[in-house]
Structure 1
């Protein structure tokens, strides 16, 4: 249970939230854990089976405090609000920004966060395993990290258009994945990296990445829904029927440190081997059922790990970062923040 950006996140299954006067009371197994005055809250986000008393629901609805219900995996289920809501104003601001010149700065933040975090993953690999690498592998990673730094500087230029920023993002992804094989330390030749493939993934590493990206985009979509943003209207990703473009935008800066790093850990620590993948008749490669359970367990553990949020300046679990970033984007769109602050991993 954690309070960040005037939102209470309840992640302990079986917790009970009640109203005592003008205060929210949280209990676990009958023992009181915290008390928070309602006037200090903007939202309550509950993960999984959490008991919320009718009195608290009524008090929150009357005070304009949203209650967001997510399942155990963090997928959006419902949002409970009173009759007065600012969501229509927030979404109008989102649509105006997506169609107007101010969208450039939001795209710039997404791109800078993504490229900086990709570079951080490469630098971390050099720091942790550089001494064990072949000189050619180390040189390739160092060159890619230097190229990403140059792309990052270019993205900061004031006159960059959305199309130019999209081009920088694509170039950075190519540079990053060009050296991804140097980060894999598995003895299984079947787990070698030959390039990104999607829909369907054609090799084990791509199958693992695609599965993790699916989990991450679910979290980002829930975060958008939870704060009242329209997950279908993005800035970096163009609108397309059925595509959660804004959720994909939020995911970009989180892919490398959350999904890619976890994939590398599972492979390099031999938690996943070649036998944990199966090739289908059409060429697609999928995780076995047992391997999928291994990945889901590791994903849930990774989401519990805490890092200092560079903007909020508080420690927060990885699993709450999409929700914090969605809140910060909503605050920017409402005019409470001058710019959208990307999340930088270190």
Structure 2
């Protein structure tokens, strides 16, 4: 089984990253802040004004360490990677499947089934752990109904329509998942670009982290991150990474957001509110989020399909491998990740 390596998140403005032999060195104001051996890293994610030396970029490309550049507030800007995985036959199979409406619908349907079932489980756990909540109970029933109808969805249009319906039901119930700071983090809908309330700002930031992890996972097994099935092809968009992350939105990103809010580790004062209506997470709070994100990735769980204990951070990689096996014809269908 693949070993879970670290992702280095650099959010402090003005940091300079460079190479010292086989070591990544982070400096700020000409003082060394950190040193990490390159072999312990799978990715480096830079937020805002972070400088990276060409020699370090070359080392990362050589060792297969992805380097991502985002704005200070988390909007993706660019990603640097080494040479493409040599498995061209797998990418050909991926292209053929994406060009086949039936095969695309089959994969998309399983992805959406995983997403909906995992969202439903989050609502069910809320009812189990904290007692009755009308919105959550209604959401559980609505999502169960969508899953039943999803079984007969045989076109991408039908699958996408049901995915949108399920997302609407889930976010209508989302406020019921809050057990602390309910007034400060209540949402009326899922909004972004820009997010207009603290919870949406927190979710958007976490979804960026998740998408970045999923993009690295699909590339690491030789798949093309831009050729998706649920998400249509669009220049510059990592559609397959967006497909893969759907199964993990509720289970991973939403759970981290809710834990941070319900444990009062993130508060309303950690956000700034602009006159345009945009809401932005502070640098200090982003660091809190990143620490929690990394800790969650180290949690152990039993994968429902493999029946093996793995670290949660390996889930995107495992699912990318399973998708690759399906595209090669080793599996009859793509088995989505469904939390027990």
Q: Under a length normalisation based on structure 2, what TM-score does the superposition of the two structures give?
A: 0.78
Q: Distance in 2 between matches of 1:48 and 1:129?
A: 44
* 1:322-341 mapped onto 2 (5 Å cutoff): 322-341=316-335
- C-alpha spacing 1:281/1:77, structure 2 compared with 1 (3 Å): same
| CA deviation vs aligned residue, 1:54-76 (integer Å, no higher than 9, x gap) | xxxxxxxxxxxx97434699x87
Partner of 1:223: 217
- C-alpha spacing 1:297/1:48, structure 2 compared with 1 (3 Å): farther
Q: CA deviation at 1:189?
A: 2.5
For structure 1, the residue ranges without an aligned partner over 5 or more in a row are 14-46, 53-65
Partner of 1:142: 137
* 1:1-346 mapped onto 2 (5 Å cutoff): 3=1, 8-11=2-5, 49-50=38-39, 68-70=64-66, 77-78=81-82, 85=86, 87-100=87-100, 101-130=102-131, 138-157=133-152, 160-187=154-181, 189-346=183-340
Q: CA deviation at 1:11?
A: 2.3
| CA deviation vs aligned residue, 1:15-68 (integer Å, no higher than 9, x gap) | xxxxxxxxxxxxxxxxxxxxxxxxxxxxxxxx972189xxxxxxxxxxxxx974
Q: Distance in 2 between matches of 1:326 and 1:48?
A: 26
- C-alpha spacing 1:236/1:10, structure 2 compared with 1 (3 Å): closer
Q: Distance in 1 between matches of 2:332 and 2:63?
A: 27
Native 8 Å contact 1:198 1:206 kept in 2 = yes
For structure 2, the residue ranges without an aligned partner over 5 or more in a row are 8-35, 42-61, 70-78
Decide which structure has the larger Cα Rg and report it: 1
| CA deviation vs aligned residue, 1:135-160 (integer Å, no higher than 9, x gap) | xxx12211210110111111112x52
Q: Under a length normalisation based on structure 1, what TM-score does the superposition of the two structures give?
A: 0.77
Q: Distance in 2 between matches of 1:249 and 1:193?
A: 25
Native 8 Å contact 2:4 2:313 kept in 1 = no
- C-alpha spacing 1:153/1:76, structure 2 compared with 1 (3 Å): farther
| CA deviation vs aligned residue, 1:274-320 (integer Å, no higher than 9, x gap) | 10111123211011110000000000001111111011110111111
Q: CA deviation at 1:194?
A: 1.7
Q: Secondary structure at 1:255's aligned position in 2?
A: helix
Q: How many residues are aligned here? A: 282
Tell me whether 254-263 or 139-148 shows the greater mean CA deviation.
Answer: 139-148
Native 8 Å contact 1:278 1:288 kept in 2 = yes
How large is the RMSD of aligned CA atoms in angstroms? 2.4
Q: CA deviation at 1:79?
A: 5.4
